[in-house]
A and B are shown apart, each in its own frame.
Chain A
């Protein structure tokens, strides 16, 4: 087991290194043209462009630029192009809203995803299963920003039951915190609920035909006990793995669309706003930070998986 953990950690470290290189390349190599010229604006003289290139280090070899950028990210001193403010501070400021969004939505989509999946797997092919299946597919097929903006229209603009966006810290007023996050939580959760319920339904129906379930039933266990102790326990492991990754994605600012629609001022919205003005450093740092979270989470999940499911060989 320990050897497995060490190897998995080593693998994760390699991927992290590659992620940082890849992210750097996206922004330094792919864009056509000179970054200094872009930064200087349309009316800049060649001397100005050269000065900018020197001060931002664009004239140095690419690997030096890479190491330089990494150094700046680790020491937390990345400066944005447009506002010239510290990117890491800005991300830190957005984290409470993003974490609030992720925790609430993650809880809702996990609970309801499992609930809906279980309900539809009880009697496959019957009316309840078909209805839930159709609803699940509809929610998977709906982009979150359509769900979000329609919900905003009906609950905030038409009826003003709920506020139309913004974020109130939990420590300021817990009631307002919930009020402001309710719509974002639900809008973000709906597609996940649809997807998780379909995955769980498939897992449960597959597990029902496994030998160990037949064995349990043959022993004379009640069907409830078979379902909870044997079928569900094994069907939930992949769901938890999925959840871990999606949760890490949302914490990392992956809920960029929902955050912008509900004006939560989190990490994702910071990314979205930087995109509008083509401000590269914040996007680069956020993308890197998210990827790091996901890679670490994936490694943790793999280790937990091996721990929970003894059928997985640790040497594979």
Chain B
């Protein structure tokens, strides 16, 4: 091929030089993610769960005609033409009726399991999302300051992270949860009563901080030695400005990858804490409290554990699969991981 042909003058009227458009890493990632059917399916399924849980009040009002806290312990319900006790005389609740009322049966208090599961899902998701938000914001700030300033700031912050990290998450969560459930929190403007949903969110968010801050701090340390940071420093940019406008954007893909992971972990931790009585406080439902209630009756009504348990596993699994797909899409090394050699 003659190089002359590539010069603009060689092009005919209306013809354009083929231009290689640089594609941003995010657009590339989206493009890769679009080809990952499994991850997409998981994402859609998760969105479905979220929408269902948001619509919990609609289901409760127009389909089941009962709230998440309403007891029907001494009532009867008609199933297939037969009148049946919601909770039998020996205390065994009705199983799934597959009708509008008590679709998935009742619990030991005669409360509708399907309604509670949707409301419980809402609470679990609220706790998961708010805990993740707390973790990410605090952890990124700690990582930025520790990694950028190094020296004594780094030493102090890293020691604090080490302390939190030394406790198994569930044990620390239970310890703080127990001590907060006693009387709530009142630190300055922050007033939360002992039964508030945001107490477990706050605890889980706090417990997870080192798992995010440690890897990000490592990255900040690597980034601060880069030329573009030196350039900003030469331009007399302040430390805060360098952290927020030079370093933070370069952390974004790590943060994006960590978010689904932390949401999944937070929901699991919430369930564990609620199971032990240190998370969402009864009678407020969450998947963890429902499983905890169901375990007491597992010999007679295993569906009280299975229904919220499967819902929990399905939701967390969807988040994890989607998160893994996102990681593969954002990680340049992932390309060669997928290709066989």
Contacts and interface: CB of A to CB of B under 8 A. Distances in A.
Interface of A: 14-15, 18-19, 22-23, 26-27, 30-33, 38, 123-126, 134, 137-138, 140-146, 149-150, 152-153, 157, 202, 205-206, 208-209, 249, 252-254, 256-257, 260-261, 271-272, 275-276, 278, 280, 283-284, 286-287, 290-291, 294-295, 298
A23 B178 CA distance: 13
B299 interface: yes
Given A153-B305, A256-B276, A275-B178, A33 B183 contact: yes
B305 A150 contact: yes
Given A18-B160, A253-B171, A275-B178, 20 more contacts: A15-B163, A15-B166, A23-B175, A26-B175, A27-B179, A31-B179, A137-B324, A143-B288, A144-B272, A149-B298, A150-B306, A152-B298, A153-B299, A202-B337, A208-B341, A257-B276, A261-B295, A287-B167, A287-B175, A294-B168
A290 B298 contact: no
B275 interface: yes
Contact of B186 (A32, A38, A283): A32
B306 A19 contact: no
B205 to A, nearest CB: 15
A251 to B, nearest CB: 11
Contacts of B291: 143, 145-146, 149
A150 to B, nearest CB: 7
Contacts of A14: 159
B174 interface: yes
B336 interface: yes
5 contacts: A142-B316, A146-B305, A205-B337, A257-B272, A290-B167
A216 B331 CA distance: 27
A27 B183 CA distance: 12
Contacts of B174: 256, 271-272, 275, 283
Contacts of A209: 336
Interface in B151-207: 159-160, 162-163, 166-168, 170-172, 174-176, 178-186
Contacts of B298: 149, 152-153, 157
Interface string B136-162: 000000000000000000000001101
B333 interface: yes
A278 B178 contact: yes
Interface of B: 159-160, 162-163, 166-168, 170-172, 174-176, 178-186, 264, 268, 271-272, 275-278, 288, 291, 295, 298-299, 302, 305-306, 309, 312-313, 316-317, 319-321, 324, 333, 336-341
A140 B172 CA distance: 20
A242 B167 CA distance: 14
A135 B191 CA distance: 43
Contacts of B276: 256-257, 260, 272, 275
Q: Looking at B178, B305, B333, B341, which has the most chain A CB atoms within 10 Å of its CB? A: B178
A298 B320 CA distance: 27
Contacts of A280: 178-179
A257 B169 CA distance: 12
Contacts of B186: 32
A153 B294 CA distance: 12
Contacts of A27: 175, 179
Main secondary structure of the interface of B (DSSP, over half): helix
A26 B313 contact: no
A109 to B, nearest CB: 15
Given A23-B175, A149-B291, A149-B295, A278 B163 contact: no
Contacts of B324: 137
B175 A283 contact: yes
Contacts of A253: 171
Nearest to B337: A205
Contact of B182 (A31, A276, A286): A31
Nearest to B313: A142
Nearest to B317: A141
Contact of B316 (A26, A31, A141, A283): A141
Contact of B312 (A140, A143, A272, A290): A143
A143 B271 contact: yes
Contacts of A254: 168, 170-171
Contact of A19 (B163, B170, B268): B163
Contacts of B162: 15, 18, 295
Q: Looking at B182, B288, B312, which has the most chain A CB atoms within 10 Å of its CB? A: B182
A125 B305 CA distance: 35
A10 to B, nearest CB: 12
A206 B175 CA distance: 39
B313 A146 contact: yes
A184 to B, nearest CB: 15
Q: Looking at B168, B302, B316, which has the most chain A CB atoms within 10 Å of its CB? A: B168
Q: Looking at A138, A145, A253, A294, which has the most chain B CB atoms within 10 Å of its CB? A: A145
Contacts of B179: 26-27, 30-31, 280
Contacts of A23: 175
Contacts of B338: 124-125
Given A30-B180, A143-B312, A275-B277, A18 B305 contact: no
Contacts of A261: 295
Contact of B278 (A137, A206, A275): A275
A276 B277 contact: yes
Nearest to A14: B159
Contacts of A125: 338-340
Nearest to A126: B340
A32 B171 contact: no
A146 B287 CA distance: 11
A153 to B, nearest CB: 5
Nearest to A198: B324
B340 A257 contact: no
Contacts of A287: 167, 171-172, 175
A41 to B, nearest CB: 14
